Structures are given as structure tokens and as C-alpha cells.
Amino acid sequence: MKRNLEIKHLFLSHFDKPVTELKFSNLYELIVCVMLSAQCTDKRVNLITPELFKAYPSIKDLANARLNSLKSYIQSCSFFNNKATNLIKMAKAVCEDFGGEIPLNEKDLKSLAGVGQKTAHVVLIEWCGANFMAVDTHVFRVAHRLDLSKAKTPEATEEDLTRIFKDNLNYLHQAMVLFGRYTCKAKNPLCEQCFLAHLCKSKDKKA
């Protein structure tokens, strides 16, 4: 569909090979950051992680963490109780089942506690440049406002976007995240600044 190809082209041209705003220096830090970012802002995660990674600099250190101590480092993060439990379980599984090496395939990643499809895809997108789409709240909103999907779930929305765009999904995912975060915001979208305004018929559109 011509309109969808134009949307794809505009995303790729306005965002030049975009990457996540999460700050990490290795694969271990990346998976922790992505797990913490669920229903929490990247900005908040980036405030938490410097001290967290000082306390637990490796996957082995995290596997041996005491739950209450770990909670104290991430308590300003949403759902920190569940996340602390899952982080330790994830780290233990990596050490026990994968020889201390975080797996880089979707099936094994999803076997880890706290790692669903979106988290697995974001890790593979950011670390490997994998041709995956991941649907967070921003991507879900943008996809529906642009009438790229009418699906009710993130997983089904991901299927629609993957079918429509086919390639460059890693960059398109991050472009849609940034676009949703800064332009096509949930409240008060900046429609007058939007490079896709001429293609948008959303009821949320501001004339």
C-alpha cells in the first residue's frame, strides 16, 4: 500500500538509524535496563542504573544478590518488587542454564523470568540489530493513530507492523518509540510539528 510505504520512508528518513535512550555498556546491562523499563520511563531507569551496576557489576553478582538489597536500588522504579524478584531469577537462570552467557535468541531469552516477547525483541534489536518489531505503549499508540493496526494487543499489533514494513524493523521500532515519546504524545500530541500529519486521520489529531 502506497501510504504505508510513505510512512515507512518518512520514519527512516527523519530518524537516522535511531537507538534506545537507555544507557548501557554491555549485554548484561542492556537486559537489566530493558527489564526495568517495562511500564517505566527510560529517564527513570537511567537514574537508577549507575548505582545498581556499581553494586552488581556482573550477571553473577546479580544472581547472588539479596532481594531486599536489590529492591533498595530500584525502589523508585514502577513494580520494583516484582522486577527485583525477576532480575535475580533471570540472572540465576543465565548462570545455571546458559553458562553465565545471556542467550541471543528469542526462545531462550523468553525462557528467562521477567523476559516477555517485547523485552526479548528489544534486547535483540539493540544488541544484534535483529529485524524485529517490539511494541511498547508508544509504538502501540502510533500504530493505531496512523491506522497501521486495529489489533487489541501489542503482540497482534507487532504482527501487523511486521507484515506491513517487512524490513528495517529495528530502526522502525526505535523511530516509532521516539516519535511517540516526543511528537505523537498520548496527551497533547504535537500535530503542528508532525512530519506525518498529512497522512494522519486520527480522532486525536489537533487541527
Q: Are 77 and 40 in contact (CB under 8 A)?
A: yes
**Using DSSP, how many helices (H) and how many strands (E) does the chain show?**
11, 0
Q: In which band, very low, low, confident or very high, does the pLDDT at 1 lie, cut at 50, 70 and 90?
A: confident
Mean pLDDT, rounded, for 197-202: 92
Of residues 23, 136, 147, 205, which has the active-site annotation?
A: 136
Q: In the chain, where are the structural domains located? A: 2-18+132-199, 27-128
Q: How far, in Å, CA of 92 to CA of 108, rounded?
A: 14
Question: What is the phi/psi pair of residue 100, to 5°?
Answer: 80, 0
Q: pTM for this one?
A: 0.92
61-114: per-residue pLDDT in tens?
Answer: 999 999 999 999 999 999 999 999 999 999 999 999 999 999 999 999 999 999
pLDDT at 207: 66
The H-or-E segment that residue 25 falls in is none
What single-letter DSSP state applies at residue 15? S
The fold of the 2-18+132-199 domain, in CATH, is Endonuclease Iii, domain 2 (1.10.1670)
Q: Which residues contact 192 (CB under 8 A, 6 or more apart)?
A: 206
- Burial (Cβ within 10 Å: 0-12, 13-18, ≥19) of residue 109: buried
Question: Is 71 tagged catalytic?
Answer: no
Cell numbers that stand for 78 in this block: 514502577
Q: Are 100 and 141 in contact (CB under 8 A)?
A: no
Q: Of 2, 7, 5, nearest to 199 (Cα)?
A: 7
> Terminal CA-to-CA distance of the chain, rounded, Å?
25
CATH (residue range 27-128): 1.10.340.30
Question: Is 136 tagged catalytic?
Answer: yes
15-33: per-residue pLDDT in tens?
Answer: 999 999 999 999 999 999 9
Of residues 8, 43, 118, 201, which has the active-site annotation?
A: 118
